Structure 1
Amino acid sequence: MTSFRTMRVTGQYNKKPLHILIDSGSTHNFLDIQRAKTIGCKIEALEPLMVTMANGNKLQISAVVGNFSWTIQHTTFTSDMMLIPLGCCDVVLGIEWLVTLGDITWNFGKLTMNFKVQGRRHVLRGSPYNGVKTIKHHQLEKVLTEGAHLSMLHLCTKERRLFQSLTTHAEQLPIPLQIDQILKQFAEVFADPSQLPPMRVKHNHQIPLLQGTDPVNKRPYRYAKHQKDIIDTLVQDMLTSGIIQNSSSPYASPMVLVGKKDGCWRLCVGLE
């Protein structure tokens, strides 16, 4: 059920996006058989074996992708992937992958997952389910470049029999080799921050105030409803990730949204 708070993240295989479900109730790792074909995986025959699905039904598996490698937050993982028709996602990572991570701190309420791999701390944040999202027609191309899946239903009979359906899988543009090498070499620099910077005794910044000075009273900027929702989401994401914290200061600054070339938004704080 996509409306339930399951742990879903986005990974990559050869620069192609993978929609991953992390499932502690699954014993093994699984890859959608159609997705394996579209991304060009080497499929090998497997001695048929039966697996039990969540609903109790039995399913025979006869194909596997050996040593399948995928990346999450610039870290590469490798494991064998059994091929089954998934439909709801591209990959299911089960206990077979989770046991390789060691100690895990998992918060299903916030959809965060903390663990260490190769000495690096990782914080995975599950994709929240926000229901149906409406976008403008000029934003469609940008959304598709981010790896969105576009499905369109055309015709059906009175008996609800489907005549035709169309599904388009958008692919991300490849990263130039030289830039990709720099990103991997300095992965810690380009990784998303997961906490506030450490306290530095001689370098902590502060603004001295004149005695008796009243806080500046500045009216916030007006926003359209959809922009207000975007601001709330960005602030909540930063609070959840730990890169900002709640403040009780009487001072505040207005903020503005600035559109980025990839269709996302940058939150900018205005100073008067």
Structure 2
Amino acid sequence: MVSGKEIHILVDSGSTHSFIDEKVVKALGIKTEPTIPMIVSVANGYRMVSKVICPELNWEIQGFQFSYPVRTLKLGGCDFLLGCNWFGAHNLIELHFHQLTVTIIQKDGNVILRALPQKNGSRLAASDSLIGLLGRITYDLFG
């Protein structure tokens, strides 16, 4: 959830950076500022440029509060993408591919985020065979 609105969050261990969709930022009136442009290669091979950052984006996932600077980009497939730079801001992250969980290991207790089931009961995530092909896993979360 960002600014009180439920959004679609994708946890992507194959993305070096975290991004929030430009349309979401505009619709929610999230504070932004210009930043050094970054060329971003996306999954379909195209390159895009991210020139704007939300210097302190606050969001909630499954009752847990987070804050981190996040760049804007035209995402299309989701509202918010959490990448490796966000993982790196935490001392230790554990990705459990079969349980589809992300565990943030902390001194005062672990935070466990779970992939949410789709309406038909299946979970939103890449299959094991696809993980091997792509060398990464993505989790869909709703915050």
- Name the SS for the 1:98 alignment partner: helix
**Corresponding residue for residue 30 of structure 1:** 19
Seq. identity, %: 32
Q: Answer 1 or 2: which has greater helix percent.
A: 1
99, 114, 117: which one aligns with 2:88:
99
**Corresponding residue for residue 59 of structure 1:** 48
Kindly state the Cα deviation for residue 46 of structure 1 after the two structures are TM-superposed.
Answer: 2.3
**Cα separation, partners in 2 of 1:61 and 1:115, compared to 1, 3 Å:** closer
**Corresponding residue for residue 83 of structure 1:** 72
**Corresponding residue for residue 16 of structure 1:** 5
Q: State the TM-score, normalizing by the size of structure 2.
A: 0.73
Q: State the TM-score, normalizing by the size of structure 1.
A: 0.41
Kindly state the Cα deviation for residue 130 of structure 1 after the two structures are TM-superposed.
Answer: 4.4
The answer to whether structure 1 residue 50 and structure 2 residue 39 are counterparts is yes
Kindly state the Cα deviation for residue 82 of structure 1 after the two structures are TM-superposed.
Answer: 1.1
Q: Which moved more, 1:67-76 or 1:56-65?
A: 67-76
CA deviation vs aligned residue, 1:183-235 (integer Å, no higher than 9, x gap): xxxxxxxxxxxxxxxxxxxxxxxxxxxxxxxxxxxxxxxxxxxxxxxxxx7xx
Q: What is the aligned residue count? A: 121
Verify the 8 A CA contact 2:94 2:105 in the aligned structure 1: no
Larger Rg: 1
Aligned-CA RMSD value? 2.0
Structure 1: which 5+ residue stretches go unaligned?
Answer: 1-11, 132-232, 234-272
Structure 2: which 5+ residue stretches go unaligned?
Answer: 122-143
Q: Answer 1 or 2: which has greater strand percent.
A: 2
**Corresponding residue for residue 59 of structure 2:** 70
The answer to whether structure 1 residue 119 and structure 2 residue 108 are counterparts is yes
**Cα separation, partners in 2 of 1:51 and 1:77, compared to 1, 3 Å:** same
**Cα separation, partners in 2 of 1:61 and 1:104, compared to 1, 3 Å:** closer
- Name the SS for the 2:6 alignment partner: strand
